[in-house]
Amino acid sequence: MKKIEIIIALNKFKKSFLKLKEGLDKENITELERDGLIQRFEFTFDTFWKTIKIFLKYSGFECSSPRECIKIAFKTGLIPNDEIFLDMLEDRNTSTHIYNEEIAIEIYQRIKIYKEHFEKSIQLLEEFTKKY
């Protein structure tokens, strides 16, 4: 695996996060906009875990599922907290497979909290990229 692959993966993750952040920064959103933000969250989470999978592979670790990658990424210092990212995984899976208005509102509220954790993970991944 080449360093360029981790840079490309990180850039994809950052772009998807910026799209999510753009929507989260908007006030008084409609139901349609909220649903779109949930979809952006799903995409951002997917690019996040695939990015850490690539970073881990570059570091000599193998993982095949989001849960496994998150746990290893936490142990190796690529992410600051595994529990919040496991909560994200649960919300991502819930939002993808079940649609319920109350659940959508709850997930949207949590996505606002997740924003800072995505930002911190980007910082850590950028630091890792500079070291290697």
pLDDT digits (tens, 9 = 90+) for 3-55: 899 999 999 999 999 999 999 998 899 999 999 999 999 999 999 999 999 99
**Looking at the predicted structure, is the pLDDT value of residue 79 above 80?**
yes
Give residue 83's pLDDT: 97
Residue 35 lies in domain? 3-131
CB atoms under 10 Å from CB of 3, counted, come to 10
User: How many domains does the chain contain in total?
Assistant: 1
**Looking at the predicted structure, is the pLDDT value of residue 61 above 90?**
yes
Give residue 97's pLDDT: 82
Distance CA 20, CA 35 (A): 12
Distance CA 16, CA 47 (A): 7
Contact between residue 17 and residue 45 where contact means Cβ atoms under 8 Å apart: no
Give residue 58's pLDDT: 94
Query: Domain holding 118: CATH number?
Result: 1.20.120.330
